Amino acid sequence: MISKLNIVILAAGKGSRMHSSLPKVLHPLAGRPLLGHVINAARELGPAKLLVVYGHGGETVPQAFTDGNIVWVNQVQQLGTGHALQQAAAGLDDDGATLILYGDVPLISVGTLRLLLDAMDGDSVGLLTVSLPDPEGYGRIVRDAQGKVKSIVEHKDANETERAIREVNTGIMALPNAAMKKWLAALRNENAQGEYYLTDVIAMAVADGVRVNACHPGHHWEVMGVNSSAQLAHLERLYQHEVAVRLMERGVRLMDPKRIDVRGELVCGKDVSIDVNCVFEGRVVLGDNVTVAANCVLRDVSIGKGSRIAPFSLIEETQIGDNGHIGPFARLRPGTVLSDAVHIGNFVELKNSQVDRGSKINHLSYVGDTTVGKNVNIGAGTITCNYDGAYKHRTIIEDDAFIGSDTQLVAPVTVGRGATIGAGATITRDAPAEQLTLSRIKQVSIPGWKRPVKGK
């Protein structure tokens, strides 16, 4: 049991093969920077100290993470992994142990890391290794006749016999702090790369009689690193596959688990159905019996039970009540709140608007900065003209109002309870309750007019 855990994440690499001006560790996987995945895993272990060593990309790396409780260490010259850890050594405790992670190995699981830490018996070293059918480029794990780890030999320094070894170093290890600081001070760069290898501390530990306990990850892909766009795309699909499997295990019906992207947190109730090519960003909550049809994008959305999202709908920072019907081709922008049984149809855009129970906006309309009451019907082609060129203004449409097609409501304006706006109207003044308001020649309100009622 480790009394005090420090964690160091090495994230100074350039990532030349990414062919990008963006630092490698800031490239997104599932909507979050590679380094962000590693930081989240590290924090779940509850470290006493969390340090990140950065270099290429300069201050853009620490500036991307503003949530604090991270000590940032700048490795001005990149002279190898051992050199990187040397830069952080002064900030580590003298007792306890340090877990070394990598900012470009984003899929490492907390379960595997706990297994590695549990492998540290007293002041021993914990080493994460994996066996690969093709170990090209990896440092080989060299064991003695009793099967104990003896050293790690980098691929470029390995002889023919050593290169035949398939057990390789993942780079992830846990070291006792007191011994680690001594080993780091003794590192030399007399190798093919001219770098200070962190892996050399394994041979030093063995020479000092410190046991090296190796363990393996739950899945080999947990320790895959990212060095190119192709590798990043491969890890993206691995990540999304694992997300899809977990969703289906909880009863979510995915029409094709290979065609879903979760770039944040997706929380689903019972009997949720998701069609192909849907993207979920931020935090998305789907209630019981929600259906999301094909090719929808949902970002920071909460959807009540029984609601249906038709194809090609874009919904962001929106709350939708129970039994709603959205789309197809609907766009709901930030600040939109829909109550129960609301219908938003094809090519309708809402922004910063609240729509109460049972109201319908079914066709080709823009409703922005608007409060819509209960059981309102807004006809096709309606626009709330909320912007005067300098300021935004609000439109209020009260309960049971009926807005005819091709209407412009020039805010600030109020349509009274039960009012009817004739088709083609441009409304610039408040429309009285329970009256028909027209403006085809000039705006006229007709007292005593009654809306047509369907016969039995």
User: What value does the mean pLDDT take over residues 359-370?
Assistant: 98
- The secondary element (H helix, E strand) that includes residue 40 is helix 34-44
Asked if 166 and 132 count as a contact pair (C-beta separation under 8 A), the reply is yes
Asked if 211 and 121 count as a contact pair (C-beta separation under 8 A), the reply is yes
Band (pLDDT 50/70/90 cuts) for residue 378 is very high
- pLDDT of 192 over the 90 cut: no
Q: Tell me, what's the pLDDT at 440? A: 77
Name every residue whose Cβ is closer than 8 Å to that of residue 396 and which is 6 or more positions away in sequence: 370, 371, 413, 414, 415
Q: Tell me, what's the pLDDT at 58? A: 83
Q: pLDDT tens digits, residue range 178-191?
A: 999 999 999 999 88
Which residue, among 53, 189, 46, 217, has the nearest Cα to 126 in the 3D structure? 217
Catalogue the active-site residues.
363
Band (pLDDT 50/70/90 cuts) for residue 373 is very high
Q: Tell me, what's the pLDDT at 170? A: 95
Q: What are phi and psi of 81, to 5 degrees?
A: -70, -35
- pLDDT of 407 over the 80 cut: yes
Q: What percent of the chain stands above pLDDT 90?
A: 84
The overall average pLDDT reported for the chain is: 94
> Which tokens is 415 given?
């349509």
Q: pLDDT tens digits, residue range 57-115?
A: 888 999 999 877 899 999 988 899 999 999 999 999 999 999 999 999 999 999 999 99
Q: What is the pTM of this model?
A: 0.89
Range with lowest mean pLDDT among 67-81, 223-237, 313-327, 371-385: 67-81
Q: What percent of the chain stands above pLDDT 70?
A: 100
Q: Which residue would you say has higher pLDDT here, 453 or 359?
A: 359
Interaxial angle between packed helices 177-185 and 200-207, expressed in degrees from 0 to 180 and rounded to the nearest 10 = 110
Band (pLDDT 50/70/90 cuts) for residue 314 is very high
Domains of the chain: 5-223 (3.90.550.10), 229-446 (2.160.10.10)
Q: pLDDT tens digits, residue range 226-245?
A: 999 999 999 999 999 999 99
User: What value does the mean pLDDT take over residues 19-31?
Assistant: 95
The DSSP bridge partners found for residue 254 are: 274
Band (pLDDT 50/70/90 cuts) for residue 1 is low
Q: Distance (Å, rounded) from C-alpha 233 to C-alpha 219?
A: 18
Range with lowest mean pLDDT among 115-129, 277-291, 325-339: 115-129
Cβ neighbours of 71 (radius 10 Å): 15
- pLDDT of 363 over the 70 cut: yes
Q: Tell me, what's the pLDDT at 403? A: 98
Asked if 310 and 325 count as a contact pair (C-beta separation under 8 A), the reply is yes
